[in-house]
């Protein structure tokens, strides 16, 4: 989920914690647990700072180690150790338990996005992305904000957020059923599909679709149960040419390939350089595919420049590659 949603989730979990008799019986426990749930709902995304370094490191590592099984164990211990000295009258165990719940829920809800997480590390580096809920879901965010507002107006927070979470759980099942209906329709259109990726959007009834069979890639969209295929591409295996091999050594393309499961590729030769471009097919927007990796190599196959990330025009991509001045 996005940062804002994780913040309101942390606040809501802190309110829910007031149903815990030990937490409710101590002001120190109440305050420390609220701090713990807010911090715990944020700390797995500490790897966002990697974006300040470069996109390649961010793409390769975001929602990786910081969302892993060891991290889910480590973060609550770290936060409890930092918070408890300021609230020595709090229950140490209950502070840890609710902080652990916040960290666990953060990682758990991220699994339901199209982006996903590597939550099974170190046992598996596979990305788990169920694609039920958009990274920012207006309904989930608004219902949390509404619950917080009701709390501020004087309602008992525990039962307020208990009711809210029951509604959210029901919403997740509704989203699952909606996605399954889209999946059924895609299978009717592409019965021999080897892989189907269905990604939610901020609009409840609109979905993005990327699929493949043995010979083609398919890109489409769905509105409710109506599926429309927008683009088809011949599926051409990536050749092991010297140009491609050299490009794959670049950190930006390497990061792209570690993250993207459905892509097509292009190689263009110019007078004094080669350009290798890989294009992710999952994020079609207004006829454009904004998530790419591009590597430029000289005639000796030495890298000149490269980039991976989201760009929405060729002009901006050229700036990223320093082909024209920024």
Half-sphere exposure of 217 (CA within 13 A, CB side): 20
Q: 0.75 exceeded by the pTM?
A: yes
Smallest Cα–Cα separation from 59: which of 269, 253, 278, 323? Answer: 253
**Statement to judge: residues 35 and 127 lie in one domain:** yes
**Statement to judge: residues 7 and 133 lie in one domain:** yes
**Statement to judge: residues 53 and 137 lie in one domain:** yes
Domain boundary residue among 174, 192, 207? 174
Residue recorded with tokens 């930092």:
82
325 within some domain: no
**Statement to judge: residues 27 and 169 lie in one domain:** yes
pLDDT of 312? 84
**Helices within 64-123 (DSSP H only):** 69-83, 92-110
pLDDT of 268? 94
**Statement to judge: residues 16 and 156 lie in one domain:** yes
Domain boundary residue among 120, 155, 174? 174
**Statement to judge: residues 166 and 56 lie in one domain:** yes
Residue recorded with tokens 């509404």:
146
d(CA 64, CA 59): 9
**Statement to judge: residues 250 and 159 lie in one domain:** no
**Statement to judge: residues 144 and 246 lie in one domain:** no
CB 71, CB 77: distance < 8 Å: no
pLDDT of 296? 95
d(CA 268, CA 274): 6
pLDDT of 81? 97
163 within some domain: yes
8 within some domain: yes
pLDDT of 322? 74
pLDDT of 325? 42
**Statement to judge: residues 254 and 160 lie in one domain:** no
| DSSP state, residue 305 | E
Per-residue pLDDT of the chain (326 residues; tens, 9 = 90+): 899 999 999 999 999 999 999 999 999 999 999 999 999 999 999 988 887 778 888 888 888 999 999 999 999 999 999 999 999 999 999 999 999 999 999 999 999 998 889 999 999 988 899 999 999 999 999 999 999 999 999 999 999 999 999 999 999 999 999 999 999 999 999 999 999 999 999 999 999 999 999 999 999 999 988 999 999 999 999 999 999 999 999 999 999 998 888 999 999 999 899 999 999 999 998 888 999 999 999 999 999 999 999 988 888 888 888 754 43
Q: Residue 250 belongs to what domain range?
A: 242-320
205 within some domain: no
Bridge partner list, 269: 274
**Statement to judge: residues 15 and 116 lie in one domain:** yes
Chain-centroid distance, C-alpha 42: 14
- Please report the DSSP string for 30-66 in residue order: HHHHHHHHHHHTTGGGGGGGGGGT-HHHHHHHTTSGG
Give the Cβ contact number of residue 221 at 10 Å. 17
pLDDT of 88? 94
179 within some domain: no
**Statement to judge: residues 169 and 280 lie in one domain:** no
The total number of structural domains in the chain stands at: 2
115 within some domain: yes
204 within some domain: no
- H or E element in which residue 195 lies: strand 195-200
Domain boundary residue among 174, 200, 223? 174
């Amino acid at each position: 989920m996005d940062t804002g949603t994780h913040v309101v989730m942390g606040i809501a979990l802190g309110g829910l914690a007031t149903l815990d008799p030990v937490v409710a019986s101590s002001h120190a426990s109440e305050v420390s647990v609220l701090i713990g749930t807010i911090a715990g709902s944020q700390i797995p995304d500490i790897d966002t700072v990697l974006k300040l370094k470069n996109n390649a490191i961010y793409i390769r590592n975001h929602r990786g180690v910081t969302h892993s099984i060891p991290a889910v164990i480590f973060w609550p211990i770290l936060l409890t150790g930092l918070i408890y000295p300021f609230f020595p009258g709090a229950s140490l165990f209950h502070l840890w338990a609710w902080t652990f719940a916040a960290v666990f829920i953060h990682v758990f809800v991220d699994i339901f996005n199209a982006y996903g997480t590597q939550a099974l590390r170190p046992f598996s580096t596979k990305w788990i992305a169920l694609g039920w809920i958009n990274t920012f879901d207006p309904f989930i965010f608004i219902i949390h904000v509404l619950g917080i507002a009701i709390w501020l107006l004087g309602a008992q927070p525990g039962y307020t957020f208990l009711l809210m979470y029951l509604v959210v759980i029901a919403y997740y099942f509704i989203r699952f059923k909606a996605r399954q209906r889209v999946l059924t329709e895609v299978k009717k259109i592409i019965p021999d599909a080897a892989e189907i990726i269905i990604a939610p959007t901020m609009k409840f009834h609109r979905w993005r679709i990327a699929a493949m069979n043995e010979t083609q890639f398919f890109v489409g969209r769905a509105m409710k149960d109506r599926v429309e295929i927008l683009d088809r591409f011949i599926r051409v295996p990536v050749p092991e040419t010297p140009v491609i091999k050299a490009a794959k050594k670049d950190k930006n393309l390497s990061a792209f390939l570690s993250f993207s499961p459905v892509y097509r590729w292009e190689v263009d030769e110019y007078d004094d350089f080669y350009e290798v471009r890989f294009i992710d097919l999952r994020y079609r927007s207004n006829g454009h595919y904004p998530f790419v990796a591009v590597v430029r190599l000289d005639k000796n196959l030495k890298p000149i420049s490269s980039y991976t990330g989201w760009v929405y025009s060729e002009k901006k991509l050229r700036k990223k590659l320093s082909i024209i001045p920024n």
